Structure 1
Amino acid sequence: MYTALYRAYRPEVFDEILGQNHITKILKNQLATDSVSHAYLFCGTRGTGKTTTARILAKGVNCTSEGERPCGVCANCRSIKEGTFMDVIEIDAASNNGVENIRELRESVKYPPAVGRKKVYIVDEVHMLSTGAFNALLKTLEEPPENVMFILATTEPQKLPATILSRCMRLDFKRVPEEILAEGMAKICEQKGIEVSRGALRLIAANADGSVRDGLSILDQCISGGQKHVEREDVLEFLGTAGEEVFLELTEKVLLRQPSEALLLLEQILADGKDVRQFMKDWLAHYRNLLITKFIKKPEDMLNLSPENVERIRRQSDSLDLADINHGIIEISRTMAEAKWSTQPRILLELCIVKMATGLIDSGIQQQVATQVRRESVQAAQTGTQMREAPKAPAAEIRGPEGDEPGKPQRDSFDCDALWHAIFEEAEASRGSFNLIRSGTILTAVGDDFFSVTASNAAVADYVESNRRTLEDLMEKHTGKRRALQCSLEGSAKNENRIDTEKIARTAGQKLGLNIEIE
């Protein structure tokens, strides 16, 4: 029967373990000085070698070699490898998590080793034990018999009680770097006589995300077709999933305003069988990763990603503004909420991509602002008051065209929407994400020595102010004259109008001796 690669090439001695030198160094020294602990806690993400290291440590304490232990060739080492050694007991806490299971373990601990030097209990997924089971294990774990050792392994150490953590020597397994993982897979391919390109190995390592088992599983899938030569394209075909590379590429196409390329990429991803709703969740998680890396220097553990993938995300995050990430998270979240009850979630996702890549979000906000202005006008008419107009700049003293009277006051006229669009189209060439500032602003007026911008909220207003000089430079370039930026918040005109109305009501009430209330 065929044996999977991750089982066939499981390390048998410490030197064969990939990427965990900080742990193997400690354990090898403890074995050499006969100072092993009575209880260990191995923590780390899946596929990083926790159970494998536990078995090798069990070999080490029972190895009969006179040299470095474990040797991997003595009778005890071979027996532990084959799973027939009586004094190494492996327990799956996920399926044996009750108090009765731990009581049985406590009873068996009393008996001395039958063959080796130490009886070793390896408890995998220990965080799955019940509270009662943990309490039953406490005393035995703290003071086991002299020839008994416990090795606990878990992917979620935060779920363990503090009383358990304090009784164990904790060793944290790191994600394996892509370079080391690729080198390890290259050696396996060489032994099997299969030629795999460097690009294919790097792609497999990137999708393994620091897990040796995941990497070998992907490699196993790629070579299972019988071909003797594997290229990067073959790996992409076999993967059929959306790895971190896909989200980086899709986000980049959206930010560069390339909706057609983004839609074609989505088509390719979904054609490989990716679930639409799950893809939305993963894409939203990618934007969350962009947000986290913008503020945290070393977010590897927080994001649960390999250092290489974190570095890729950081590079993209550095090219984005916080407003870009904010709009992406909001729009994808809104699409997910709508898709929850829709029978056509793919169409909603495609619309989301088009809106993000073409600026339809911008126009939607402008329509909201225009609707608000019209609503305020109607309310003002109903109350018999006049809307407070935006301040107008004095007419510019300019010379008119030939035939006009020199010195006659005239006003420059601009199409505000077209001018605002032109300014950010040019800005996008030098800074790919700068155009997204439009998603929260509109150009409301261009005067002789100023131009007014309305921001949808305080965060956008702060963002505009931080780019004041750039906006004024671009306005000067497009209009031929230096103008000062005036930024205001949406709704401020409405508040000013109410203040004026209340002032008039108070004055009229004092003269007429009436109490006039404004609703």
Structure 2
Amino acid sequence: MYTALYRAYRPETFDTVLGQEHIVKILKNQIAADSTGHAYLFCGTRGTGKTTTARLLAKGVNCTSENVRPCGVCENCKAIKDGTFMDVIEIDAASNNGVDNIRELRESVKYPPVVGRKKVYIIDEVHMLSSGAFNALLKTLEEPPENVLFILATTEPQKLPATILSRCLRLDFRRVPEKVLLEGMKSICAAMEIRITDSALALVAANADGSVRDGLSILDQCLSAGSKDISREDVLEILGTVGEEVFLEITDAVMRHNTAEALIMLDKVLADGKDVRQFMKDWMSHYRNLLITKFVNKAEDMLNMSSENIERICEQSQRIDVAEINNHIMELAKTMSDAKWSTQPRILLELCIVKMATGLLQKSTLPSGNDAAVTTVIKAERTVISGAKTEAKPSAPAELVSNGGEANDDLDKDRLWHAIFETGEAATASFNLIRVGTELAEVTAHTFSVTASNTVTADYVKNKQRELEDIMEQHTGVRRQLLCKVKGNCDGPTQNGIDIESIKKNAENKLGINIELV
């Protein structure tokens, strides 16, 4: 009967374990010094070697060799490998998670080892135990009989009670680096006389995402095709799924505004059988990863990905600003919501890609180069200036007029000011000193006004006037002059704290008439 690769090439000694050198070093030293503990907790993502290492530890404490243990060739080591060693008991906590199961375990630990030096209990997926089962295990785990060793393995240590965690020596298994996976799979292919290209192996390792078992399972699928020669195209055809590599590439195409390339990539993905709605969810997760890596220096635990994939995402996140990530996430979320009720979700996703790649999303929030004279609607309502006797009505209700000198009320000033700081901070970190103490008060056709919280901040803004004007021109396409004042200070006459002169100028610009203050 055929044996899967991850079983056929399971490590039989510590020297053949991939990517867990920090754990191997601890266990080898403890076995050599005969100072192993009574309870261990092995934590880590799937396929990183928790159960394999637990069996190796069981071999090590029962190995009859006089040299390095485990040797992998003595009778005890062979019996543990075959699963026939009476003193090593493996328990699946997912299906044996009740109090009665743990009570049976407590009764069995009273009996001494039959063959080996120690009786070893390996409890896999221990987080699946019920609260009653955990309570029943506590006393036995804290003070087990002599020559009894417990090894608990889990992918979710946060679900374990603190009382269990405090009674175990915790060892965290890391995701295996792609380079290590690559070398391991290359040696397996050489032993099996399989010719596989480096690019194909690299693709398998990338999709394994740090899991040895996942990588060997993918390689197993490739070998099952029957060919002795495997190329990258063969791996892509067999996988039929979208890995992180595809999302990196399609996001790059969108960032470069290459709509055609992005649409062609989507077509290839869907032609391979990928569900369009699932693709949207995965793509949104990719943008979430870009957002996290933009602000978190060490995001390995948050993203739960291999270090190589995180490096690729970090590199891409440096080339995209937060506003663009926000726009794309919001557009994908809207498209996903619409796709729930649509019989043509692919068309909706294609339209979403066109919007993101052509920059239509940015145009809806920020003015472009030729849109500096933003048009506004003058509402046909009575305008009364405080302190003035003149009342006036526009001659044409709801008339569209050019924004020639008046404030653009429709502009999202907070968003524009944030975008300006994103650009400024990329050039110099000192821009962050005025981020909190300023706000964009007004944007007209020729000027933009900034309100500072104090005179010190206002002086700093004025020192950065040239840079701010350059960045404003970069974002809006029009050269505008910076006007800065301290909050609460007004240049013109005031009445009850109201800047009458400013109101007067605003009204004159909107109504096209002269107003006299009396």
CA contact (8 A) 2:253 2:259 kept: yes
One-letter amino acid matched to 2:106: R
1:313 and 2:313 are equivalent in the alignment: yes
Aligned to 2:405: 392
In the alignment, what sits opposite 1:484?
Answer: 481
Q: What's the CA shift for 1:110?
A: 1.1
CA apart distance, 1:344:
2.2
* Matches of 2:79 and 2:152, distance apart in 1: 21
Q: Is the 8 A contact 1:472 1:485 kept in 2?
A: no
- 1: distance between equivalents of 2:58 and 2:133? 24
Partner of 1:517: none
Tell me: CA distance 1:362–1:72, structure 2 relative to 1, closer, same or farther (3 Å). Answer: same
Q: C-alpha displacement at 1:282, in angstroms?
A: 1.0
TM-score, normalisation: structure 2: 0.76
> What amino acid sits opposite 2:5 in the alignment?
L
Alignment partner, residue 335 of structure 1? 335
Cα pair distance change 1:390/1:344, threshold 3 Å: closer
Once the two structures are TM-superposed, the CA of residue 378 in structure 1 deviates from its matched residue by 4.6
Q: Percent identity?
A: 66
Mapped to 2, the partners of 1:141 and 1:475 lie a distance apart of 64
Mapped partners of 1:390, 1:486: distance in 2 = 18
Q: Distance in 2 between matches of 1:139 and 1:246?
A: 51
The alpha carbon displacement at 1:390 in A equals: 5.8
Aligned 8 A contact 2:42 2:173 in 1: yes
Counterpart position of 2:164:
164
Partner of 2:437: none
Contact 1:98–1:130 under 8 Å retained in 2: yes
Describe the shift of the 1:376–1:472 C-alpha distance in structure 2 as closer, same or farther (beyond 3 A).
Answer: closer
For 2:137 and 2:273, how far apart are their aligned partners in 1?
A: 45
Q: 2:244 aligns to what?
A: 244
Q: Aligned with 1:332: secondary structure? A: helix
Q: Which residue of structure 2 lines up, in the alignment, with residue 212 of structure 1? A: 212
Gaps of 5+ in 2: 385-390, 407-422, 427-439, 451-460, 485-497, 505-518
Cα distance in 2 for partners of 1:345, 1:131 equals 44
Q: CA deviation at 1:471?
A: 3.5
Q: 1:468 to 1:60 in 2, by over 3 A?
A: same
3-state SS in 1 of match to 2:152: strand
Confirm or deny: 8 A CA contact 2:46 2:155 kept in the other structure. yes
Task: Tell me how far 1:126 sits from its aligned partner.
Answer: 0.5
**Cα distance, 1:444 vs structure 2:** 7.7
Work out the number of aligned pairs and report it: 432
Task: Identify the match of residue 377 of structure 1 among 376, 379, 389.
Answer: 379
**Contact 2:46–2:211 (Cα < 8 Å) also in 1:** yes
- Corresponding residue of 1:201: 201
Conserved? CA contact 1:472–1:483, under 8 Å? yes
User: Match of 2:123, SS?
Assistant: strand
Find out whether 1:107 has 2:107 as its counterpart. Answer: yes
Matches of 1:195 and 1:262, distance apart in 2: 33
Q: 1:358 to 1:111 in 2, by over 3 A?
A: same
Question: Residues 230 and 486 of structure 1: is their aligned pair in 2 closer, same or farther, counting only changes over 3 Å?
Answer: farther
1:389 Cα deviation from its structure 2 partner: 9.1
Report the alpha carbon displacement of residue 470 of structure 1 after superposing the two structures with TM: 3.5
Structure 1 residues 385 and 108: CA distance shift in structure 2, 3 A = farther
Is residue 152 from structure 1 mapped to residue 149 from structure 2 by the alignment?
A: no
Decide whether the 8 Å contact of 2:375 with 2:402 is kept in 1: no
C-alpha distance in 2 between matches for 1:380 and 1:286? 51
CA deviations 1:258-314 (Å, max 9, x no partner) are 111101101111111111221111111111111111111111111101111000000
Aligned partners of 2:293 and 2:299 also within 8 Å = yes
Aligned to 2:31: 31
Q: For 1:378 and 1:253, how far apart are their aligned partners in 2? A: 46
Helix, strand or coil for the counterpart of 2:116? coil
Does the 8 A contact of 2:93 with 2:128 survive in 1?
yes
CA contact (8 A) 1:472 1:484 kept: no
CA distance in 2, matches of 1:230, 1:475: 49
CA distance in structure 1 between the partners assigned to 2:222 and 2:304 by the alignment: 25
Normalising by structure 1, what TM-score? Answer: 0.76
Residue aligned with 1:3, SS: coil
Structure 2: distance between partners of 1:69 and 1:287: 47
Aligned equivalents of 1:289, 1:378: Cα separation in 2: 48
Instruction: Give the unaligned 5+ runs of structure 1.
Output: 394-427, 432-440, 454-461, 488-497, 505-519
Structure-2 separation of matches of 1:11 and 1:468: 61
Shift of 1:360: 2.2
* Structure 1 residue matching 2:379: 3-state secondary structure: helix
Instruction: Give the AA of the match of 1:62.
Output: N
Say whether the 8 Å CA contact 1:291–1:317 is kept in structure 2.
yes
Deviation at 1:362, TM superposition (A): 3.4
SS of residue matched to 1:377: coil
3-state SS in 2 of match to 1:237 = helix
Residues 451, 483 of structure 1: 8 Å contact kept: yes
- 3-state secondary structure, aligned to 1:120: strand
